[in-house]
Structure 1
């Protein structure tokens, strides 16, 4: 029989581990009075929004300026964040009840006292917040998705699988960061994973046959040096057909240009066959409209830069009835920014990243803001990931029906897919898999 004491925190510890890019990140270990333990590891992004919560690194002070001494790990160590967990957060949490997620997250925010978590570090705070959520599930004898989402948590997400990498995620000439396949026409999550895997391997064969390299980028997608961004869309359509599926109906395309990386002052510079072309926001929107008419694209994320609010609103007005317009860097999982976007009709969907905002409670608040407005929301990983599968359970708990967690290789990505397979197996006939997308025109 579980008692209240079983939910009380006995110990909180942390250590520095490595993420999928070989950079340090924070792992938190939480022990409860009943002897049960919970562990959580924090991801890290390469393409980051300007207003994200601060990821505390040893080689930077709170302002981001480099310290004078030569730092370990090139300044990317997280011993300061680990020390903050051990010396500041842990003493305040001993004896607290892990079922009080919102109160404990608020306690950590008060301990930090800054708007962007610059004192303790969002990586320190989030690691503890995730461990608290997992501790509550372990103590209650529930899977994490049921503990966070209740008895109604049974919807498996449609995966967005990053099969071609560019931008900041690969050393090639592609400006756009992610070209994804979306197997939304599958009957189950397990079948969606199979559709994606078979298409991934068909794409590998096509790239090899056409003389392109098949090395992979940060998120496990192939990173060939293609002549332009549109060639990637054409290749994906060919791969879908080669794998035996119908482009659009079975497997569609999602794009994440991450336009902040190639946009400046309202202009966007793209490479095409070795030549640089500068476009306005209007011209970018016309480019997307042209592609949408010719390729089965159902989702467009960060098609414009994070400060181009007017351009985003025009894009949503122009294209929002034809596909999902997702804001990532412009919203950074911040409820205040999302509410502004809702007022200004900036998008019709939001990307949700736990480490952009820094606590489980604030992440849920961001999702609730999107839900209230009737917006879609996509639970997302980061390019620097770990083997922690928290995200898979979180996606099921939140019930939005979409997840971005990388390609069909690299174990830090596969860990999430395999956990979703486990959840689908656990739910059995209760599992739901419903496409959030209308079938695009092809």
Structure 2
């Protein structure tokens, strides 16, 4: 996405990290691809028909050079055409940044209620993690399949797997779009509004956000993306953004260029509150 945004706004440079990082190289390659298309004067001459339907939205873990995965999303149309998006790995170092959801972060569930002695509770985020002293033998001794699955996921990639974020795409996000025609998908802003509204809805359902929360509190939750995961939301936004662009007969940077300076923050988050 950084490459498409940078190209869209005619940025003089793009800082993506070290050249040895695979995901950084992908961004640089995308810039080269876009520059090549621009130099040729390439234009899409046959936009996708608006009555085509989205047949599937699927997600997988995608390997990165860091040895831990991120989320990749593929949106497939009924005619077989597909659009892909994957979120770069990592969480920003600042406070209140968007959350790259990993499997060692556990939501409240029957296992956390049944075995409180095995978990530490994060009061700020209202999530759980296995205590450091918990071992495989302790978990196996409980003879509980749900607990064992939580433990297995918490061990994968040192706790940094993202199967939960993958499942969030397929369980929560996919139903928003599968079966819709391209015309019904709306604009990229419409797509992002739906994704952010779903993040807020999950936060309320999980008891992390009061239904009558102040506007700034609601926006903060949507910016953090800790329920669906930044890696789930942004990968879907990128894949669907490419779909929207193809429907309009343009490349994604063309859509982003049109949006530059024209996004109403309040409309994007579309929250009610004082």
More strand by share: 1
Q: Under a length normalisation based on structure 1, what TM-score does the superposition of the two structures give?
A: 0.32
More helix by share: 2
Q: Which has the higher contact order (CA 8 A, sep 6+)?
A: 2
Report which of the two structures shows the higher radius of gyration computed on alpha carbons.
1
